[in-house]
Structure 1
Amino acid sequence: MNYESQYNLAKDKIIMIMAGLMVGLLVAAFDYSIMATAMPKVINSLQGMEYYVWPFTFYMLTSTIAIIIFGKLSDIYGRKHVLIAGIIIFVVTSVMCGFATSMLELIIFRGLQGIGGGILISLPFIVVGEIFAPRERAKYMGILASVFGLADVLGPILGGVITDAVGWRGVFFVNVPVGIAAVALILYSLPNFKLGGVKKVIDYGGIITFTLALSSLFLAVTFTGDLNKYPLVEIAGLLVFSGIMFILFISAEKRAAEAILPLRLFKNSIFSVSAVESFLASALMFSGVIYVPLFAQGVLGMSATNAGFLMILMSLSLTMASIITGQIISVTGKYKHLVIAEFVITGIGVVLLATMNASTSPYQLVAYSTILGIGSGMAYNIFNVAVQNAFTLRDIGIITASMRFFRNIGTIIFVPVFGFIMNFTLEITVTLGKTQALVLSIQNIFLAAIVLAFAGLIIAFLLKEIPLSGDTPVTQEEVHGECIEKVK
């Protein structure tokens, strides 16, 4: 393995940096899977079953907003300082969650925790993009992305063990020692790379309008999952308000000296295509993550534990695909053919999953979900690498954060959409019996996923390819007089 970075960091220094980034990322990556295991005990303790999804919902909302805002702020204040701040926020709010005495407190604290989580799932990829030459980035991003697969495999098991041994509050307190270790590693190893020439001006107008626009859109999409509880007029009102805020956001970004999401980025076709593809890839992955275990339990009659073990192969295939894809890009210096392959493989996976019925064997389910996992794992690296290669270091923070942002948006939009498809199908097939109705519902979800995979494949051919350099450091365009300032 080539450990040389574009800043000529020593091998042991790079190992320490990667260790710190991976531990920091692991803290946030574990959050989803551990929380899912602990939530039944949380509900028993704090009551409020009707608010079951809100700790997840508020966390997802604030983390998605934080991805963009702090990606940009790291350009101004340096990656190291923002990353450490993210870990501290996550750890402190984890303790607050652990001491929550009501569901309302937990929901609020989870929202605050999401700010740290958003920083932690984006900044490590920005740092890798900044310290390595283009071709080397894919290799190290593959290693970083493997953390998500590890968390998916071990998270539910760890969450169950901690919850059973010390109670649900322990799943939050366990973040404290891990967070401290991450801070120590990063403080010791990571120089604070800052962009020279960036105006220290915060885009308050952009931050406020962006937050309001995304929050109202997020709530509207969430409310559509229960039309019996939330009337259409409220949802329509939120959508209208969101639209107005997005218009004001665009206006604010046009005038901002340092926009949190510069509109000029969308003029680059590689950025625009990669944003759409990240959006679709995330939706496709979650179609399997959510509905394969449901099929295993609801149709095949498997226990929750066995359904969880069934998902291990999908998670492992996702992890290995991420690492191998990074190695391939590092060797070849090309990515477009891998994007095409990713949507072909993902498409095959969802086509096979759409054929499932009551006679499908667990072995078939494992095979089908593993294929989907391979395709989904390939998507972790490709679009970060593509957009980083299409821009100078001046924009590397915001473009890398944007790819994670659009992945989150894919989840936010399509999880409720899949839920609507399922609920609608269950209602119109209720006379067929519970099991058959569930089969048809899940089949319809994967039929929708086939459409998404086909759209992703067509769009993949529009992606321009700029060969990645293996030995030339990324520099700023001299015409702008930009540089990188290395702060010891």
Structure 2
Amino acid sequence: MLIHRRLGLAVFLVTMEVSIVATALVPIADHLHAFDRTSWIVTSYLLTYTGFLIIFAKLSDMFGRKFVLIAALCLFTIFSGACAAAKTIEQLIILRAFQGVGGSGCYSVVVAIFFELVPPSKFAKITSLVSAIFALAFLIGPLLGGAITQLSSWKWVFLLNVPSGVLCIAILIFTLPNGFPNHNCSRERPRSESGFQKIRRLDLIGTLLLLTSSILLVTGLQQAGNPYRWDSPLIVTCLVLSALTWTSFFSWSRYATAQEQPEGREPVFPWRFVQSRVRIGMLISIFLTGMPFTVSVIQIPLRFQAVDALSPLQAGIRLLPYAILNPIGSILAPWIAKRFQTPPMYIMLLGASMQVVGAVLLSTTPTNRHVPSEYYAYEGIAGLGTGLNLACLIVMTPFAADKRDKAVAMSAMVQSRVLGGALGLAIVTSVFTGYVHRQLTNAAFPESEIRTILGSTRGFAGIDDRKAHIARTIFAKGHNVQMVIVAGFSGAQILAALLLWSKPQIIIPNK
């Protein structure tokens, strides 16, 4: 268990990078004058994080877990420090993307090591451990981010990773055996296999297509409405190219899987996943679950800061009902599935229904600066439902995948969740900024004031009290619209969960 704790610290750091930024977005936006582009700070990290998960898993198979993990940690640590040195929003977005590459490697390799440290009979416990680390990171992140930005500079949100990352690297150098997990036996692959031959086994084409299609889709959705019209050449070009690259990605995956050989190229997304209704249902379900999860963690604190003028720490505290009930759901779901031999599909239907109810209730929040106490109960309902579904899907994966695809299946599930979060955040951000811009225009705000308000929440201080009240009310209504969209994402999970129906149902062994 000692090695689990050391590796868990690495997963904790890279996972917390999403939530710790949630309560720091407003201070960052105010400092860099880019409130309308704050979601890119999260999205750029998520896009590269999801795009390199399977590549790092493959690299660690070829060059060893220890070498690849330490290289990924170095990348994450270096670019964490670089993010703190960013002077413009463009610099920060680019540096966050490189930080996400390192974070992707840390998560992918550590999860692979976790499952190699225990026999298959304990996979469910390892799944619960990973879920607990994931949930703890999202619980502590907003509070820590709020406290740091309130007591110091937002730069420490990123600088915090530098000493922690160096400590992780030092510990792993001396404690993780060289050649793990084959350190006690001869090499699995012939010594004659060169580095170039190993690289050839990587599905670089599939990775490039996945990353390109994701970036084009998210860019098109996030920029539509504000600053560009939906029918503008840039948006249309992004969406059309995204459709073409997605089609190319799935076509290539099918071809690469058909050509797959024991020592040949290993497809980044085996076509076998698409040929199984249950597996494709799991991928769609976790994709849709990632949407409300990421949107809620990012947008709820933003609402408290922009509309209610609360400090980052106060906003983080008000996210606690969601952040606490989510890990409780992650613990309850595997326990119920094992203890009562309940098919996970039924638990997921309950979780999706709870998310719909919670999001719909959150969308009815009054638009004044007083949030009723019921709001926190609604948060808890939505958080519990999300936790139930995320845990069910993770714990099902080893039992739904073929033996040869278990590692890739785990990475594919994480990829789908993170990509869903990035896409969901892009959609609600586009809708929000477009809605706010239209409503402020209808309220006779001059374009210069609209740009100031969308550029920084400090823009409220530069206008008279009457206009500031109108602007905050419009922001609050925009947040409610976002929650309606989240309810739609959650409702779609119900349909996706029905794809998991099979005879016999997948049951988690009670051992």
Alignment TM class, shorter chain as reference: 0.7 to 0.9
Provide the C-alpha distance between the structure 2 equivalents of 1:162 and 1:42, rounded to a whole number of angstroms. Answer: 12
Partner of 1:321: 329
Provide the C-alpha distance between the structure 1 equivalents of 2:359 and 2:64, rounded to a whole number of angstroms. Answer: 41
Partner of 2:164: 178
Partner of 1:339: 348
Helix, strand or coil at the partner of 1:226 = coil
Note the C-alpha offset of 1:186. Answer: 4.4
Partner of 2:211: 211
State how many pairs are aligned: 457
Q: Does 1:388 align with 2:406?
A: no
Structure 2: runs of 5+ lacking an equivalent: 191-196, 260-264, 444-468
- Give the fraction of aligned pairs with identical amino acids, expressed as a percent: 25
Partner of 2:507: 467
Partner of 1:289: 297
Partner of 2:288: 280
Helix, strand or coil at the partner of 1:282 = helix
Helix, strand or coil at the partner of 2:181 = strand
One-letter identity of the residue aligned with 1:193: P
Indicate the RMSD between aligned Cα atoms, in angstroms: 3.5
Note the C-alpha offset of 1:27. Answer: 1.0
> Does the 8 A contact of 1:139 with 1:323 survive in 2?
no
Note the C-alpha offset of 1:384. Answer: 2.1
Deviates more, 1:188-197 or 1:388-397: 188-197
Provide the C-alpha distance between the structure 2 equivalents of 1:337 and 1:52, rounded to a whole number of angstroms. Answer: 37
Partner of 1:407: 417
Note the C-alpha offset of 1:229. Answer: 7.6
Structure 1: runs of 5+ lacking an equivalent: 1-14, 472-488
Of residues 27, 50, 59, the one that matches 2:13 is 27
Deviates more, 1:409-418 or 1:249-258: 249-258
Of residues 486, 493, 497, the one that matches 1:456 is 493
Partner of 1:368: 378
> Does the 8 A contact of 1:142 with 1:324 survive in 2?
no
1:27-82 CA deviation, whole Å, 9 max, x = no partner? 11222333344556656766777765544332222112112322343444444443
1:304-350 CA deviation, whole Å, 9 max, x = no partner? 54332111121111122212323334445542222222112222212
Provide the C-alpha distance between the structure 2 equivalents of 1:52 and 1:246, rounded to a whole number of angstroms. Answer: 26
Provide the C-alpha distance between the structure 2 equivalents of 1:111 and 1:296, rounded to a whole number of angstroms. Answer: 27
Provide the C-alpha distance between the structure 2 equivalents of 1:43 and 1:372, rounded to a whole number of angstroms. Answer: 27
Partner of 1:10: none
> Does the 8 A contact of 1:387 with 1:400 survive in 2?
yes
Partner of 1:70: 56
Note the C-alpha offset of 1:185. Answer: 4.8
The 5 Å alignment of 1:58-457 reads: 58-100=44-86, 103-132=89-118, 136-163=122-149, 167-187=153-173, 188-189=175-176, 192-193=180-181, 200=198, 201-228=201-228, 232-253=232-253, 254-255=255-256, 257-296=265-304, 304-332=312-340, 334-358=343-367, 362-423=372-433, 425-426=435-436, 427=438, 434=471, 437-438=474-475, 440-457=477-494
One-letter identity of the residue aligned with 2:330: S
> Does the 8 A contact of 2:325 with 2:383 survive in 1?
yes
Provide the C-alpha distance between the structure 1 equivalents of 2:64 and 2:399, rounded to a whole number of angstroms. Answer: 21
Query: Do the aligned partners of residues 251 and 358 (structure 1) sit closer, same or farther apart at CA in structure 2, a change above 3 Å counting?
Result: closer
One-letter identity of the residue aligned with 2:405: D
One-letter identity of the residue aligned with 1:346: Q
Provide the C-alpha distance between the structure 1 equivalents of 2:28 and 2:310, rounded to a whole number of angstroms. Answer: 24
One-letter identity of the residue aligned with 2:21: M
> Does the 8 A contact of 1:146 with 1:323 survive in 2?
yes
Note the C-alpha offset of 1:372. Answer: 0.7
One-letter identity of the residue aligned with 2:406: I
Note the C-alpha offset of 1:388. Answer: 1.8
Query: Do the aligned partners of residues 214 and 175 (structure 1) sit closer, same or farther apart at CA in structure 2, a change above 3 Å counting?
Result: same
Helix, strand or coil at the partner of 1:193 = coil
Provide the C-alpha distance between the structure 1 equivalents of 2:306 and 2:95, rounded to a whole number of angstroms. Answer: 33
Provide the C-alpha distance between the structure 2 equivalents of 1:162 and 1:303, rounded to a whole number of angstroms. Answer: 11
Query: Do the aligned partners of residues 80 and 225 (structure 1) sit closer, same or farther apart at CA in structure 2, a change above 3 Å counting?
Result: farther
> Does the 8 A contact of 1:138 with 1:382 survive in 2?
no
